[in-house]
Amino acid sequence: MPPKAILFDLDETLTDRNKSLMRYSIEFLQIFKSYFTDVSSEDLYQLLKSADGNGYRLRDDVFAQLVVELPWAHKPLETFQISEHWASRFPFCSVATTGLYEVLDTLKSSGIILGIITNGGTFSQNNKIDALGIRDYLDTVIISETVKVKKPDSDIFAIALKKINVCASETWYIGDHPANDVIGAYTAGLTPVWIRGIHPWLEGHDEPLYQIDSIKQVLSLLPS
């Protein structure tokens, strides 16, 4: 039987972080170009990608690295100038992962309830969703800052299930992070689907039954 509901992580599940960073690098240079001696959007992208830690490194550490390593003609007075630009603009640079709209169209037309459970700030995550243009597909959006609980805590999954009125056993959760997404969902009683290739699996834990390499492969998991 297909699931009644499928809930998704947001970052690196529905978004392509590398493409989003590239788009942001172009916008960043449009604002800060006069601060540099000579730097391309590709140079900035490569540094951002290296410093970013797939979004799990502290932002202050990322911005401090940019201040140290970029070829500034004159540096910003404080890292907060970069921090404020990131916070206000990066969400709007979000790029959908390949195949996202096809998958959402197919799942929605099949009558499957769809939603998002994401860690992060309310402003940032809501604007990423709107930048992707996927709000109309979603029956619920649960953001950790809004509900005051974060993955992998089972409570955040319970909040989403209550919103859509579907049992955990009838719900899949798709995400890239072994602890927050896969183990978190499994502990809460959902069926996890792990997107491989972004974070290594955690030693000492059994890998999930369902594993995919891209969001497009979700459709192959559904019964024909």
pLDDT at position 214 over 90: yes
Average confidence (pLDDT) over 78-84: 81
**More confidently predicted of 5 and 37:** 5
pLDDT at position 128 over 90: yes
- Report the candidate in 98, 135, 94, 131 with the shortest Cα–Cα distance to residue 212: 98
In the chain, alpha helices (H): 17-32, 41-52, 59-69, 80-89, 100-109, 122-132, 144-147, 154-164, 184-187, 218-221
195 token code pair: 């997107």
Q: Cβ(176)–Cβ(166) under 8 Å?
A: no
Q: How far apart are CA 211 and CA 221, in angstroms?
A: 9
Q: How confident is the model at residue 224 (pLDDT cuts 50, 70, 90)?
A: confident
Q: Cβ(210)–Cβ(222) under 8 Å?
A: no
pLDDT at position 6 over 70: yes
* Share above pLDDT 70 across residues of the chain, in percent, rounded to a whole number: 98
Q: How confident is the model at residue 63 (pLDDT cuts 50, 70, 90)?
A: confident
pLDDT at position 77 over 60: no
Residues 6+ apart with CB under 8 A from 23: 93, 95
Average confidence (pLDDT) over 86-92: 95
Average confidence (pLDDT) over 45-53: 92
Q: What are phi and psi of 153, to 5 degrees?
A: -55, 130
Mean per-residue pLDDT of the chain? 94
Residues 93-116, buried b or exposed e (16+ Cβ, 10 A)?
bbbbbeebeebbeebeeeebbbbb
Rounded to two decimals, what is the model's pTM? 0.93
Question: What pLDDT score does 86 carry?
Answer: 93
pLDDT at position 19 over 90: yes
Q: What are phi and psi of 71, to 5 degrees?
A: -80, 75
